[in-house]
Amino acid sequence: MRIVATLCLSALGFSAQAANWTLLTTSTDLKKVTYWYVDTSSVVADDKFVKAQLRTAWSQMQFGPDNTGYLSTTYISYVDCSRRLLAYTANTYFSDFDSTSAPVHQEAELPLTELNFSPARAGTPGEMRINYLCKSSEGSSNKSI
């Protein structure tokens, strides 16, 4: 029994992949710095979209509509590289900067058909995310999203 439990825990450890957060850019506002990250181990692409786990963190506490404070959020991003469009879903909000605390709020992941894809303005962090994700998916083998 003990061996089975150990094997099960080992298998879980191998199947769960740790996030590899890479900083994409920061804001220039020194009063409230915003940091945008991508989990490079989460990037997958198919013929139409690139999907990745992203994270945004702030140097100052943010507050949701119910006044719940948070310092970071993780979310899934889909990018349509051919049309240069971006959509987000499955936001999870955390009280700590590193997104390691228990979530203070979570939103369900919506199906692709319900996502609102929009263009990013030139020079914004949104455009930087599109550029990074589309470039990182070039030449890679297509995977199912």
Per-residue pLDDT of the chain (145 residues; tens, 9 = 90+): 333 333 333 333 333 468 999 999 999 888 899 999 999 999 999 989 999 999 999 999 999 988 999 999 999 999 999 999 999 999 999 999 999 999 999 999 999 999 999 999 999 999 999 999 999 877 554 555 6
142 Cβ contact partners less than 8 Å away, ≥ 6 residues apart? 45, 46, 47
7 Cβ contact partners less than 8 Å away, ≥ 6 residues apart? none
- For residues 63 and 75, the answer to whether their CB atoms sit within 8 Å is no
pTM of the model: 0.81
Own/partner long-range contacts of 89-94 (Cβ < 8 Å, ≥24 apart): 89/115, 93/64, 93/68, 94/70
User: What is the amino acid identity at position 125?
Assistant: P
User: What is the amino acid identity at position 68?
Assistant: T
Give the number of residues written for the chain: 145
**Phi, psi angle pair for 129, to nearest 5°:** -65, -45
Q: Report which of 99, 47, 48 is spatially closest to residue 75, judged by C-alpha positions.
A: 99
Spell out the CATH class of 18-137. Answer: mainly beta
Angle at 74 between CA 69 and CA 75, to 5 degrees: 125
Separation CA 132–CA 22 (nearest Å): 11
